[in-house]
Amino acid sequence: MSRKAWVQQIMGMPISIHLRGKDVDSPMVAHVVEDAFDLLREVDRLFSTYRDDSEVSRIRRGELDPEHADPLIQQVIALCRQAGELTKGAFTDQLPDDQGVLRFDPTGLVKGWAADRAANRLAELSGMTFCLNAGGDVVVGGIEAETEAETDVEVDGRSRQSKEGPGALWRVGIEDPRDRSRVAQVVELHHGGVATSGTAARGAHLYDPNAQTFVERAGSVTVIGPSLMWADVWATALFVGPKSLMLRFSEVADGYRVISL
């Protein structure tokens, strides 16, 4: 059983793809991995708020009507609306710009959505398991390997050992937000996503639309579930939202669980 990793800088962050299986060096595998990275590059081209020519930047400047935007933009707008409804307004795609003006910014949903799309491409590989790490948020899946072997998986900058084989799990380390040199907990899963929101890495960058301010409190919220996109949405919403939002989460987020640190 072999393993291989690829890393690209896309969407302003390192994105890594780890594969394990029998034919990780084949041209077909390399082609699928490049397709997955291309899907992420397409998202950056359309959604980046740092690129003047992206469609999101043009929408923010009033140069492009969202109804005339790329179908992927329209899909994300609909998902952001759904996310806002599910989280009772704790998630929003209207964030302050450098001047404090609220503008369209779906960043809080796009990363997980894009990673899920790339993961779907990797899932087409026969006899392979994969781990895609997008700036610390992780999605795993694929067909289980048939033989057992040890492998180290680099997740959140740390090497975590995992056994391959039937019933094997990927192991994802969750960083201690108060001591970033320490792994606070390890999550094991076959398929699905792990997303963490907090202030340890980037400071007060998460916006509370109800209080109309950026949240400065310490700690983090990690959500684990079938979709990285929804795990990321809920991790952000639960971090910035009121404690009562946990009740809503338990009612509507079937198959997801929370780790608060």
Q: Which of the two residues, 166 and 71, has the higher pLDDT score?
A: 71
Quick count: other Cβ atoms within 10 Å of Cβ 101?
10
Compute the average pLDDT of residues 132-144.
91
CA–CA dist 55, 62 (Å, integer): 10
Q: What values do phi and psi take at 192, rounded to 5?
A: 120, -170
CA–CA dist 104, 112 (Å, integer): 17
According to DSSP, the β-strands at 2-10 and 129-134 are unpaired
Compute the average pLDDT of residues 65-72.
96
Q: Tell me, what DSSP letter sits at residue 97?
A: -
H-only helix segments in the chain: 27-47, 55-60, 71-86, 107-122, 228-240, 245-252
User: What digits encode the pLDDT tens for the residues 4-33?
Assistant: 999 999 999 999 999 999 899 999 999 999
CATH topology classification for 2-260: T-fold (3.10.520)
CA–CA dist 218, 249 (Å, integer): 21
pLDDT at 146 over 70: no
According to DSSP, the β-strands at 207-208 and 257-260 are unpaired
CA–CA dist 115, 138 (Å, integer): 8
User: What digits encode the pLDDT tens for the residues 152-163?
Assistant: 444 444 434 444
Q: At 117, list the tokens.
A: 């799309």
Q: Largest Cα–Cα distance of the chain, in whole Å? A: 56
Compute the average pLDDT of residues 173-194.
93
User: Which range (2-16, 53-67, 143-157) has the least confidence?
Assistant: 143-157
Provide the 3-class DSSP secondary structure of residue 63: coil
pLDDT at 189 over 50: yes
pLDDT at 216 over 60: yes
- The residue ranges of every structural domain in the chain are 2-260
pLDDT at 36 over 90: yes
